Amino acid sequence: MLAEARRKAAERGAEVEWVQGDMREFDLGRTFDLVIIAANSLLHLHEASDLVDCFRSVRRHLAPGGRLVLDVFNPSVQVLAHADGVRRSREALSFVDPDGGDVHVDVAETYDAAAQVTRGTWYFSTKSGTDVVVVPLEIRSIFPQELPLLLSLGGLRLVERFGDWSGGPFTGGSAVQVCVCEAG
């Protein structure tokens, strides 16, 4: 991921300091007005204690008045109920890659309700071929009522929650939770 991020930043002439580390425990030696955890990155932390550790590390790095902005999927009970290992098209996840064009996404997954973790395989297809990329993926679900509690345990407070990146209202049917947080 860092190599791809470096490549994209160089293409755009952006100067970025890249740091590889563990989001559960890090010390960059300074504070920031804004910390962003985007693209469902939090969902790779499966244990509640790991999420809390991450939030504590972020809290230590927030300047006074600083904000954390994060996004995670809003778990769909309907989608989780259909996570039976059968490969299915996920049109809502399909996207356009600037380099490769339309990308179609299929997913075969199972859901472990006790762990709140979905385990599966993601299949990416383009006009140039079927299953051009096939990757395993394990992601945690963070339910809307659970998120403020986890943030609080990490020393943060949920200030606003949106249902999309354009600031639309968050509802039970929103596909995503975009959250603005501050020191609690």
Instruction: Please determine, for residue 92, whether its predicted confidence score (pLDDT) is greater than 90.
Output: no
Instruction: Please determine, for residue 45, whether its predicted confidence score (pLDDT) is greater than 90.
Output: yes
Q: Please give the average per-residue pLDDT across 7-22, as a whole number.
A: 94
Per-residue model confidence as pLDDT tens digits over 51-67: 999 999 999 999 999 99
Task: Give this prediction's pTM.
Answer: 0.90
Q: Print burial letters for 27-61: b (CB count within 10 Å at least 16), e (below 16).
A: eeeeeeeebebeeebbbebeeeebbbbbbbbbbeb
pLDDT at site 1: 82
Per-residue model confidence as pLDDT tens digits over 102-145: 999 999 999 999 999 999 999 999 999 999 999 999 999 999 99
| CB count in 10 Å sphere of residue 123 | 19
Percentage with pLDDT > 90 across the chain: 93
Query: Rounded CA gap, 177 and 37, in Å?
Result: 12
* Number of structural domains found in the chain: 2
Residue 43 is part of which domain span?
Answer: 2-75+142-183
Write the CATH number for 169.
3.40.50.150
- Torsions phi, psi of 8, nearest 5? -65, -40
Q: Which carries the bigger pLDDT value, residue 4 or residue 53?
A: 53
**Dmax over Cα atoms in the chain, in whole Å?**
50
Per-residue model confidence as pLDDT tens digits over 73-91: 999 999 999 999 999 999 9
- Torsions phi, psi of 102, nearest 5? -65, 130
Q: 106, 125, 140 — which closes off a domain?
A: 140
- Torsions phi, psi of 4, nearest 5? -65, -40
15 and 52 assigned to the same domain: yes
